Structure 1
Amino acid sequence: MNLALLKEFFAGFLRNRHLGRHFKRLALLETLPQSEFGRTLPPQLTQHLVKAARLNNDELLKSLQSHSDGLSEPQADLVRRRVGYNEVEHEKPLHWRVHLWQCYRNPFNLLLTLLAIVSFLTHDMKATTVISTMIVLSTLLRFWQEAKSNKAADALKAMVSNTATVSRRDVTEDAAEVFEQFYGAKIQAKSARREEVPIKLLVPGDLLILSAGDMIPADCRVLSAKDLFVSQAAMTGESLPVEKFAAQRDASTINPLELDNILFMGTNVVSGAATAVVLSTGNRTYFGALASRVTATDRAPTSFQTGVNKVSWVLIRFMLIMAPLVLFINGFTKHDWMEALLFAMSIAVGLTPEMLPMIVTSTLAKGAVFLSRKKVIVKRLDAIQNFGAMDVLCTDKTGTLTQDKIFLARHVDVWGEEADEVLEMAYLNSYYQTGLKNLLDVAVLEHADVHRELNPARNYRKVDEIPFDFNRRRMSVVVSEREDHHELITKGAVEEVLSVCTHVRHGEGVEPLSQALLDRIRQVTGDLNEEGLRVVAVAAKEMPPRRENYGIADESGLTLIGYVAFLDPPKESTAPALEALAAHGVAVKVLTGDNELVTAKICREVGLEQRGVLMGGEIERMNDAELAKAVEDNNVFAKLTPAHKERIVRMLKGNGHVVGFMGDGINDAPALRAADIGISVDTAVDIAKEAADIILLEKSLMVLEEGVLEGRRTFANMLKYIKLTASSNFGNVFSVLVASAFIPFLPMLPMHLLVQNLLYDISQIAVPFDLVDDEMLTKPLTWQPAEIGRFMLYFGPLSSVFDIITFLMMWFVFGANSPEHQTLFQSGWFVMGLLTQTLIVHMIRTPKLPFIQSRAATPLIVMTGIIMAVGIFLPMGPLAHYFKLQALPPLYFALTALIVVGYMALTQAVKGYYARRFGWN
């Protein structure tokens, strides 16, 4: 047997398409060595990007047959017909022939194929037929189940919206006539508009409107930009975002990744805003060219895959020890080395869980379909098991613990008195900003009466904008009021706005910002926070109308005008959801950028007991050892940056926790990637949805509880199959060793072992649909390879005890004690082995008393009943001669019933002892 092949299989079979090959763009980029970038790309692609970077806007648009207002819909359709959809090669499903081959090419099927060939060459057509049936059944079942789960997964993922904002050009009547003459197709005149277009429908020449949080959906050239910072870390390894401009500053640059005005598919906008034109889509992009070279590159194994690999190697070690032992014992005692070889190979097959890939796929697919009914979309199937293993859930506050329906509750001056001027300034700031509009902006803009009074379109003109970023935690707009002066209006977190203020507004006058005023400000904002209000400071300064461009340096010397305070009440479902998660062993930790007072009040209202609050500033001063302890001692973390969230998640993982993170903002993306299971919502920004493993169509913690429970059911059924197969097969092989040493003929023919194994495998098809005891769902479930080995050693020999009793019964009671009567002996053990192997499913599936305290699902009961009936029919029916079996006397079945009852009683007793000593995972 090829040990390297086996190791490669177990390291890789769970990373095949049915589990892990729905690659995320960023995940694939992260697998590439950064040194490979730019070296192996087609020269024409590099030349295309460099040329596009050097052209001016008009020349570039002309070369793409586009326009400053973008493409019209008919133009986009024509281009799409020519270049295809915006999809990279690895995202396409496997051709059915390739998929079928992948389902076949595993060591188990290769071993069976070898055995079938040997049987054919030795003219044993019956064994050849049985073995071939096993190969076909295993391959087709896996192929059918994976195709079904892939189809379901694709349908579910299609429910998650991934769109880009595109500018669609006006089509006038004159242009429509020209278009018809030139292209021979009729179009209708349409008005100019912006619209959300599915990313796969983008074409070269489309004009994109980009803002913070957007994924770059294709290779693009920037046409205009304002403080545009793009994260290229997944592509280049740069830890800091890179600023992009509309013009290429260094004309001699030839490395595409160093171009100032080129954006690459798979990167994301961190802050700022831009208009860009699509240069290339799909496989023609920089990413597409890389992906076509590394489609065979797999992601690092997840904790789920690692767990299965370890368990599989436990089984392999048993197989590599037991199969040679059987070979040599039978070869030396029976002196028929060919028969001994076939028998040993049958033993090897019997020890390997050849249905494991199919069982894993079907259990995970069943879980995904179940969760879809709960409005949970699973992007990566093995994330379901991580759901069940999760013992710490980190979650943002806004929209998760709270209703995500923010409304403006107060607008007050520095002294806490109602002030309309504060609302007007906040309105202008929200109205004119083009970056990431959050729920606070939406709440401000809902005040239509303010809009009517201010009449921005008539009285104000936007001059410039200084976009929001998560370090400054503020954003500014510059407006011109009737062209007589410029007004810079800043809105943001209180401390960050105060850091650039030198004065405060007091009535009609202005006072210098003193320590006494600072104390008063903190008291007023603190009082608002304790009411559960989120406070945003508003500041401004007037400037002469001398220039049109402003930057962060201009955010200085501001005058504090006042505050707008928002209320985001907690959800009614939050408190029971937190209680349910705690009851199931999942600790909830709140990670938020908001301040500690608002967070504390929300936590009190939803019943989340605070065990210490840690601030972002304190985290900055901690080394890893200190933070690793602090994340265990605290469960509320406030005023965090994206880097803080990611670091907390990594520390929790380093402490041995399986960590889930739930977030929907651009600031959550690093933590989503770092977590064992990233959870986002369909309304999240693009980068958050791209980084997540699970997408919720409904933002609710109650849905998470359902996911946790389903993850545990899925894992429990997978573990059930492995335990059943490992212990049962080990017991059978141990019995074979005993029988081979003392019986002058083979206790079962290789074909008998294979048929028995085939029938047992068929009975296990129903395991994914089995019920799971409620007690098994109360705590996180994790892989414990050592426990699998211990379980085998405890329960495997139990069956051997009763196998030996069966040997003695056949030898002494029925006289099957010579080679002439070996068929009777083999028939007796064949039936007994199949009955006990099948019934043990009901014994080991639960620590409770089977059939009485815990009943299996109907499909499993029906399937095991059918297989037991088939097992009895084979020696008793007309096919007995074909399988080299013979009819058994009535007394055999009476004694067999006693042996089976004794076996079940002893197994139940050992179960109780085992559960008390080791627990029942």
Structure 2
Amino acid sequence: MAAQGKPFWTVPVAAMLTGLGCTADGLSTGAVEDRRTRYGANADSQPRKVGPVRAIMRRLAEPLSLILLAAGAVSVATGDAVGGTIILAILGLSIVLDTVQEGQALKAAEMLRRSVAVKAEAKRDGAFVAVDVGALVPGDLVRIRAGDIIPADARVLEANAFTCDEAALTGEPYPVRKQPGVIASALAADADNAVFRGAVAQTGEALALVVHTGRDSLFGEAASALAEAQTPSPFQRDLHAFGLLTARLTLALVLLVLTAHMLFGRPVLESLMFAVALAVGLTPELLPMITTVTLSRGALRMAARKVIVKRLAAIHDLGAMNVLCTDKTGTLTEARITLAKSLDPAGAEDPRAATLAALAAHLGGDRGALDAALLDCRHDPAAGWVMEEVRAFDFSRRLGSVLAQGPDEHLLIVKGAPEAVLKLCATRRDGSIMDAAAQGQAHALVQALAGDGLRAVAVASKPWPGAPRELTAEDEAGLVFEGLCAFADPPKATAAAAIARLAKAGVRLKILSGDDPVVVKRLAGLVGLKADEVLSGADVAALSDAALAVRVRQVDAYGRLSPDQKSRIVKALQARGAVVGFLGDGINDAPGLKAADIGLSVEGATGVAQAAADMILLESDLGVVADGVEEGRRTFVNILKYVRMAASSNFGNMLSMAAASLFLPFLPMLPT
């Protein structure tokens, strides 16, 4: 819902309620039914399903299949029932095997997609009840708790320490704070008063008003790309081209022989029968069977490596791939925030800041992504300590405090955003005054960490002089600056080695991320990818298609990309003749997955990404992709061996027969 073309997060709540024709008390059952009829189900556009009959007809329409059909029919018509039946049986068996294999893979992928049933808590008839996500409609009032998948685009009406993980939508790995209010920015990235379908609630809880569902949601366009017709893959194009070439050569040879025989005064019927025999002999009858069996064996080998091959031809396409575009979060990285550094006020490595921060997180009950990273690095961080008072973190103060009694210290520990904590500090740990110069040095250190793609949390403390009591804002002053904790989403341990293997195989990797270009550049360096230049979404938007087609050959890393821009980069690479693969797991990756010659996703990916992919990796490991490239090339070589053998023998034999027939007093070959 937008007022006068404005995004819904810029519209006052009262105006939104009026526009939606509802109140902040939820909907009645009758109103829900009316709205479901009006707005439809809260679901993505599904890929066009192809039934078995249509799938078989599509394969029969291939030039090579038509040649074999014609050869079989002619053989039967001219009396060679056995030969014709064999040709038709081989063709039929090949098509059936191909159709069954792809059908089984699609069923496996569908079972994987349905393995998690998602519910939402909506207020219906005055009470909150659990309903299927697909049953939500605009105007519904939903309650969202930590761990819930955001079921629809919605406006936040109430929030309690509520944050969302929007990595699947934007590529940003850090939690995003959400709170009620109205903002002026039209950018979804700035909409901290709205939640978007596909994100995950990380901490706290919220009450939200559903505004857009299904295809009308912010990323519904990305999902609706799946409903578009699938373009032929490189393998299908190559096979189609080979079939046309075979048909042209066969027709040319038949016409040439028939014309020559007519000029030599040979009987017309015998000459026609001989030409038909040549046509049958030129046909590579076993190619469909060889192709299907070879690809099926490749699919079985890939399945042993925990890869679901949804489309058999994708194995060959993976082998032909020479550019792999990949998202960052969850594919190259762990999609899990970890503690990268613990620094003292001067920027030197020192564990005290992380130790105090972990102690505060444990005693204060903080369970955000950054707190979890702190606790992962400290075994029993509160040993010997007792929590006496806590002033919980909130987003207005951007910090939280814990009063704790330890074996040797009685401390107030404060942690939070550097800009909030640093201004409360009076001294540094070494006793020096936290004057303007020291403040500037601390802020410069925070900026340096940000330049390396790291997020900083400041830690401060002060000795507590007396008995415990309820903490106030006045207590959070005159602090001692203890240092900074820096966090990052680390690269997968296997990423660098897998990228090196792909490079050795002639596959160039490009990072297409929705995250900050600075973070993308840092990650590229960590995984061994040269990225002297990183283009942002704004840079890509400023380029024409022709200019982008030039730049994509020079630049290997991109940040702050929209879903459409990822797809545009893929198409620019294809325009330069590249066979492009795309590896992604988020909703924002669906257009890129759809546009690529070979789409790859992972088990934990969103349903939209899995539906758009040609292969699903049950283990998120780039090494499997490198294995797949080798498997695809092995499959291609095996098919090529048969093509070369069949082409050389069939054409050689038939040309010899055609030439000999002009000089022999009898025809060397007939259809029967």
Calculate the TM-score normalised by the size of structure 1: 0.48
1:521 to 2:443 alignment: yes
- Preserved contact between residue 601 and residue 617 of structure 2 (Cα < 8 Å): yes
Change in CA separation of 1:572 and 1:333 when aligned onto 2, cut-off 3 Å: same
Q: Please name the residue that 2:303 is paired with.
A: 372
Q: Please name the residue that 1:717 is paired with.
A: 638
Q: Please name the residue that 2:373 is paired with.
A: 443
Change in CA separation of 1:517 and 1:160 when aligned onto 2, cut-off 3 Å: same
- Preserved contact between residue 342 and residue 486 of structure 2 (Cα < 8 Å): yes
- Preserved contact between residue 394 and residue 590 of structure 1 (Cα < 8 Å): yes
1:566 to 2:487 alignment: yes
Following superposition, the deviation at residue 651 of structure 1 comes to: 5.2
- Equivalent residue letter for 1:142: I
| Pairing of 1:636-655 with structure 2 (within 5 A) | 637=557, 640-643=559-562, 652-655=573-576
Equivalent-residue separation in structure 1 for 2:574 and 2:72 (angstroms): 47
Q: Which moved more, 1:267-276 or 1:675-684?
A: 267-276
Following superposition, the deviation at residue 127 of structure 1 comes to: 2.1
Equivalent-residue separation in structure 2 for 1:362 and 1:654 (angstroms): 32
Correspondent of 1:659 among 561, 569, 580 = 580
Following superposition, the deviation at residue 710 of structure 1 comes to: 0.6
1:698 to 2:628 alignment: no
Change in CA separation of 1:600 and 1:666 when aligned onto 2, cut-off 3 Å: same
Q: Which moved more, 1:701-710 or 1:562-571?
A: 562-571
Instruction: Kindly indicate which of the two structures has a greater share of residues assigned to helix.
Output: 1
Equivalent-residue separation in structure 2 for 1:53 and 1:663 (angstroms): 35
Equivalent-residue separation in structure 1 for 2:606 and 2:341 (angstroms): 28
Change in CA separation of 1:674 and 1:130 when aligned onto 2, cut-off 3 Å: closer
- Equivalent residue letter for 1:443: A
Give CA deviations for 1:734-777 in whole Å, capped at 9, x if unaligned: 223202322233211113xxxxxxxxxxxxxxxxxxxxxxxxxx
- Equivalent residue letter for 1:522: A
Correspondent of 1:140 among 84, 93, 107 = 93
- Preserved contact between residue 641 and residue 667 of structure 1 (Cα < 8 Å): no
1:615 to 2:539 alignment: no
Q: Please name the residue that 2:318 is paired with.
A: 387
- Preserved contact between residue 600 and residue 617 of structure 2 (Cα < 8 Å): yes
Following superposition, the deviation at residue 139 of structure 1 comes to: 1.5
Equivalent-residue separation in structure 1 for 2:284 and 2:277 (angstroms): 13
Following superposition, the deviation at residue 421 of structure 1 comes to: 8.3
Equivalent-residue separation in structure 2 for 1:738 and 1:216 (angstroms): 73
Equivalent-residue separation in structure 2 for 1:693 and 1:655 (angstroms): 22
Equivalent-residue separation in structure 2 for 1:140 and 1:724 (angstroms): 22
Following superposition, the deviation at residue 667 of structure 1 comes to: 5.9
Correspondent of 1:336 among 262, 267, 274 = 267
Q: Please name the residue that 2:656 is paired with.
A: 735
**Structure 2, unaligned stretches of length 5 or more?**
1-17, 170-178, 181-194, 403-414, 460-480
- Preserved contact between residue 498 and residue 623 of structure 2 (Cα < 8 Å): yes
Q: Please name the residue that 2:244 is paired with.
A: 313
- Preserved contact between residue 115 and residue 131 of structure 1 (Cα < 8 Å): yes
Q: Secondary structure at the match of 1:680?
A: strand
- Preserved contact between residue 525 and residue 535 of structure 1 (Cα < 8 Å): no
Q: Please name the residue that 2:172 is paired with.
A: none
Give CA deviations for 1:233-267 in whole Å, capped at 9, x if unaligned: 9xxxxxxxxxxx99xxxxxxxxxxxxxxxx99xx8
Change in CA separation of 1:454 and 1:681 when aligned onto 2, cut-off 3 Å: farther
1:326 to 2:257 alignment: yes
- Preserved contact between residue 337 and residue 489 of structure 2 (Cα < 8 Å): yes
Q: Which moved more, 1:579-588 or 1:161-170?
A: 161-170
- Equivalent residue letter for 1:602: L
Equivalent-residue separation in structure 1 for 2:591 and 2:446 (angstroms): 34
Q: Secondary structure at the match of 2:661?
A: helix
| Pairing of 1:481-492 with structure 2 (within 5 A) | none
- Preserved contact between residue 537 and residue 563 of structure 1 (Cα < 8 Å): yes
Change in CA separation of 1:633 and 1:213 when aligned onto 2, cut-off 3 Å: farther
Give CA deviations for 1:199-247 in whole Å, capped at 9, x if unaligned: 8xx5578998889999998xx79586799999xx9xxxxxxxxxxx99x
Q: Equivalent pairs: percent with the same residue?
A: 33
Equivalent-residue separation in structure 2 for 1:212 and 1:724 (angstroms): 62
Following superposition, the deviation at residue 712 of structure 1 comes to: 0.8
Q: Please name the residue that 1:762 is paired with.
A: none
Equivalent-residue separation in structure 2 for 1:369 and 1:566 (angstroms): 41
Following superposition, the deviation at residue 523 of structure 1 comes to: 4.3
- Preserved contact between residue 362 and residue 381 of structure 2 (Cα < 8 Å): no
Equivalent-residue separation in structure 1 for 2:135 and 2:584 (angstroms): 31
Change in CA separation of 1:572 and 1:154 when aligned onto 2, cut-off 3 Å: same
Following superposition, the deviation at residue 84 of structure 1 comes to: 13
- Preserved contact between residue 664 and residue 683 of structure 1 (Cα < 8 Å): yes
Aligned length: 570
Give CA deviations for 1:777-834 in whole Å, capped at 9, x if unaligned: xxxxxxxxxxxxxxxxxxxxxxxxxxxxxxxxxxxxxxxxxxxxxxxxxxxxxxxxxx
Equivalent-residue separation in structure 1 for 2:589 and 2:323 (angstroms): 16
| Pairing of 1:429-828 with structure 2 (within 5 A) | 440=370, 442-444=372-374, 460=392, 504-507=423-426, 521-523=443-445, 526=448, 535-538=454-457, 563-566=484-487, 573-574=494-495, 576-589=497-510, 593=516, 594-595=518-519, 598-599=522-523, 602-603=526-527, 608=528, 611=530, 613-616=532-535, 620=539, 623=543, 632=553, 637=557, 640-643=559-562, 652-665=573-586, 671-751=592-672
Give CA deviations for 1:690-749 in whole Å, capped at 9, x if unaligned: 444332222223222211111111222233333333333322332232023222332111
Change in CA separation of 1:397 and 1:168 when aligned onto 2, cut-off 3 Å: closer
- Preserved contact between residue 343 and residue 749 of structure 1 (Cα < 8 Å): yes
Change in CA separation of 1:405 and 1:163 when aligned onto 2, cut-off 3 Å: same
Change in CA separation of 1:86 and 1:270 when aligned onto 2, cut-off 3 Å: closer
- Preserved contact between residue 411 and residue 423 of structure 1 (Cα < 8 Å): no
Change in CA separation of 1:159 and 1:213 when aligned onto 2, cut-off 3 Å: same
- Preserved contact between residue 602 and residue 620 of structure 2 (Cα < 8 Å): yes
Give CA deviations for 1:273-300 in whole Å, capped at 9, x if unaligned: 9867799999xxxx9xx99xx98x7322
* Largest Rg, 1 or 2: 1
Following superposition, the deviation at residue 110 of structure 1 comes to: 5.8
- Preserved contact between residue 642 and residue 670 of structure 1 (Cα < 8 Å): no
Q: Please name the residue that 1:155 is paired with.
A: 108
1:408 to 2:350 alignment: no
Change in CA separation of 1:595 and 1:504 when aligned onto 2, cut-off 3 Å: farther
Q: Secondary structure at the match of 2:667?
A: coil
Give CA deviations for 1:609-642 in whole Å, capped at 9, x if unaligned: x64521346983985677766655565x47x212
Change in CA separation of 1:517 and 1:89 when aligned onto 2, cut-off 3 Å: closer
- Equivalent residue letter for 1:737: A
- Equivalent residue letter for 1:127: D
Following superposition, the deviation at residue 343 of structure 1 comes to: 3.4
- Preserved contact between residue 521 and residue 531 of structure 2 (Cα < 8 Å): no
Change in CA separation of 1:150 and 1:579 when aligned onto 2, cut-off 3 Å: same
Q: Secondary structure at the match of 2:87?
A: helix
Equivalent-residue separation in structure 1 for 2:19 and 2:282 (angstroms): 61
- Preserved contact between residue 422 and residue 458 of structure 2 (Cα < 8 Å): no
- Preserved contact between residue 104 and residue 139 of structure 1 (Cα < 8 Å): no
Q: Which moved more, 1:323-332 or 1:402-411?
A: 402-411
1:62 to 2:19 alignment: no
Calculate the TM-score normalised by the size of structure 2: 0.63
- Preserved contact between residue 660 and residue 679 of structure 1 (Cα < 8 Å): yes
| Pairing of 1:175-190 with structure 2 (within 5 A) | none
- Preserved contact between residue 324 and residue 510 of structure 2 (Cα < 8 Å): yes
Change in CA separation of 1:717 and 1:334 when aligned onto 2, cut-off 3 Å: farther
Q: Secondary structure at the match of 2:662?
A: helix
